[in-house]
């Protein structure tokens, strides 16, 4: 085919064109890189200054709120005192025992012929009773009364007769009883 | 020499087209080192500070709002405080307790034989926010009155806990056959509060069930208010 392999542009000129194109691309790339750098640096500076402004704004508002709280200091102290005491009171009230109730139940459960001479109640759930009974039948009645659901059983869980002896001088039975209290029954509700 | 110079010029001419790119890269690098990186560092710090400050602002703003709301309920707050102050007074009211117990014993018809103060928080007991003071009490009287004495103690507006109890039947010359009750009582007090930090949140809720239940219980108690006045002192010989 005639003219198919004919190159009209000289080879040097072609090379020169390519070089120019490469130079142009390099310059464009440089401009883009520079532009992007400037944009990113500028954006960062602007973002920084905006953030700083918002930070200063919050600081100013905070100072304002702090001043409001300082102005209401005595009210805050009252509120704090009330809350502290209410919390403490709740804890205290949880564990207070009604010893008056114990005495009431004890008197309800004690029949005639029984004389309690000593009572000891401690931190735990056990109490001890010492005293005298006119006779063993009265003592047995007393022991049953202490666990009767309508009498002592409202408060006492179990009763143990620790010792009993007959005092021949006075003709009375001396006893020592250990009573277990129902868990939580004595707590002031 | 001239040949070298020509070669140098030729090289410069070859490299000249790349000068703008090199300059752009150098300027970009300088911008990155001098501006962008410090700004990024600054932004990270600022953003952290900002979120901390915002959180702090929100909390104290909430606190200020709550306090402002409470301002209108100041009277309710004061009446509630009067109740809790009766039940759990300050440290300065410890001596008053003696008079209160004496009054309770007189009212109950028992004879207050002795009152022995334990050291304040001697056994390092502490009920959360309150400190305790323990005292041994010895009262004499009939069974029914001793029961009333204990009941009055339980119903006294100043909270007193009976820790233990011992009853003994005694026979004395003065009183005849009677009962002696000894008991360890525990009373509570709250020391003066320290300065409250601004950042401490306000958690008091006057309408809370917990608070109102406690106040309702306190309202049922009987106050024994005895004011211990300070009087003029200055005796020349205290042993006289």
Greatest mean pLDDT among A44-53, A93-102, B165-174: A44-53
Residue numbers in B near A100 (CB within 8 A): 147-148, 150-151, 154
Residues A90 and A103 in one domain: no
Residues A30 and A46 in one domain: yes
Domain boundary among the residues A76, A94, A112 is at A94
The rounded mean pLDDT for chain A is: 89
Residues A131 and A177 in one domain: yes
Report the topology of domain B82-191+204-219.
Answer: Alpha-Beta Plaits (3.30.70)
Q: Are A110 and A145 in contact (CB under 8 A)?
A: yes
Nearest by CB to residue A34, choosing from B24, B129, B130, is B24
Residue B189: phi and psi, rounded to 5, are -150, 160
Q: At what angle do helices A99-109 and A136-147 cross, to 10 degrees?
A: 130
Per-residue pLDDT tens digits for A4-30: 566 677 788 888 888 888 888 888 888
* Partners of residue B164 on adjacent β-strands: B184
Task: Give whole-number Cα distances, B225 to B10, B86, B127, B184, B185, in Å.
Answer: 110, 8, 24, 22, 19
Q: What percent of chain A has pLDDT over 70?
A: 96
Tell me the three-class secondary structure of chain B, residue by residue.
Answer: CHHHHHHHHHHHHHHHHHHHHHHHHHHHHHHHHHHHHHHHHHHHHHHHHHHHHHHHHHHHHHHHHHHHHHHCCHHHHHHHHHHHHHHCCEHHHCCHHHHHHHHHHHHHCCEEEEEEEEEECCCCCEECCEEEEEEEEEEEECHHHHHHHHHHHHHECCCEEEEEEEEEEEEECCCEEEEEEEEEEEEEEECCCCCCCCCCCCCCCCCCHHHHHHHHHHHCCECCCCCCCCCCCCCCCCCC
Distance of residue B12 Cα from the nearest chain A Cα, in angstroms: 15
**A60 in a domain, yes or no?**
yes
**A159 in a domain, yes or no?**
yes
Per-residue pLDDT tens digits for B56-83: 999 999 999 999 999 999 899 999 999 9
Residues A82 and A121 in one domain: no
Domain boundaries, given as residue ranges, for chain B: 19-72, 82-191+204-219
> In total, how many domains does chain A have?
2
**A187 in a domain, yes or no?**
no
Per-residue pLDDT tens digits for B175-226: 778 899 999 999 898 887 778 888 888 888 889 999 999 999 999 998 887 6
Tokens found for residue B239: 């042993």
Per-residue pLDDT tens digits for B8-46: 888 887 777 778 788 888 999 999 999 899 999 999 999
Distance of residue A30 Cα from the nearest chain B Cα, in angstroms: 4
Residues A15 and A82 in one domain: yes
Residues A46 and A110 in one domain: no
Residues A87 and A129 in one domain: no
Closest-CA residue in chain B for A115? Answer: B169
**Domain residues for A118?**
99-181
User: What residues contact A51, with CB distance under 8 A and at least 6 apart?
Assistant: B43, B46, B47, B50
């Amino acid at each position: 085919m005639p003219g198919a392999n004919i190159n009209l542009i000289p080879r040097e000129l072609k090379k020169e064109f390519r070089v120019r194109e490469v130079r142009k691309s390099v310059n464009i790339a440089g401009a883009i890189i520079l532009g992007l750098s400037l944009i990113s640096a500028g954006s960062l500076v602007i973002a920084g200054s905006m953030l700083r402004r918002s930070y200063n704004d919050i600081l100013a508002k905070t100072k304002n709120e702090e001043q409001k709280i300082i102005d209401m200091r005595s009210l805050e102290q009252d509120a704090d005192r009330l809350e502290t005491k209410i919390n403490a009171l709740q804890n205290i009230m949880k564990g207070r025992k009604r010893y008056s109730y114990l005495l009431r139940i004890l008197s309800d459960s004690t029949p005639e012929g029984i004389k309690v001479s000593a009572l000891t109640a401690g931190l735990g759930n056990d109490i001890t009773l010492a005293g005298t009974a006119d006779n063993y039948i009265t003592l047995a009645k007393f022991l049953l009364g202490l666990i009767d659901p309508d009498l002592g059983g409202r408060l006492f869980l179990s009763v143990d007769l620790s010792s009993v002896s007959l005092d021949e001088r006075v003709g009375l039975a001396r006893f020592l009883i250990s009573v277990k209290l129902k868990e939580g029954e004595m707590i002031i509700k | 020499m001239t040949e070298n110079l020509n070669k140098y010029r030729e090289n410069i001419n070859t490299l000249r087209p790349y000068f703008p790119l090199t300059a752009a890269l150098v300027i970009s690098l300088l911008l990155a080192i001098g501006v962008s990186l410090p700004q990024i560092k600054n932004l990270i710090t600022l953003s952290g500070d900002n979120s901390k400050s915002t959180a702090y602002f929100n909390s104290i703003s909430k606190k200020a709002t709550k306090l402002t709301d409470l301002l209108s309920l100041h009277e309710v707050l004061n009446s509630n405080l009067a109740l809790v102050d009766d039940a759990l007074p300050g440290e300065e009211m410890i001596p008053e307790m003696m008079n209160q117990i004496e009054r309770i014993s007189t009212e109950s018809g028992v004879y207050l034989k002795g009152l022995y103060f334990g050291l304040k928080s001697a056994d390092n007991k502490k009920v959360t926010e309150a400190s305790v003071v323990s005292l041994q009490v010895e009262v004499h009287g009939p069974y029914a009155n001793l029961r009333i004495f204990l009941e009055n103690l339980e119903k006294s507006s100043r909270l007193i806990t009976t820790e233990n109890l011992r009853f003994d039947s005694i026979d004395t010359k003065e009183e005849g056959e009677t009962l002696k009750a000894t008991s360890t009582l525990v009373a509570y007090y709250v020391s003066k509060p320290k300065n409250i930090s601004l950042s401490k949140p306000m958690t008091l809720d006057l309408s809370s069930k917990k608070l109102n239940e406690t106040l309702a219980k306190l309202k049922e108690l009987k106050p024994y208010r005895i004011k211990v006045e300070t009087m003029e002192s200055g005796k020349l010989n205290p042993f006289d």
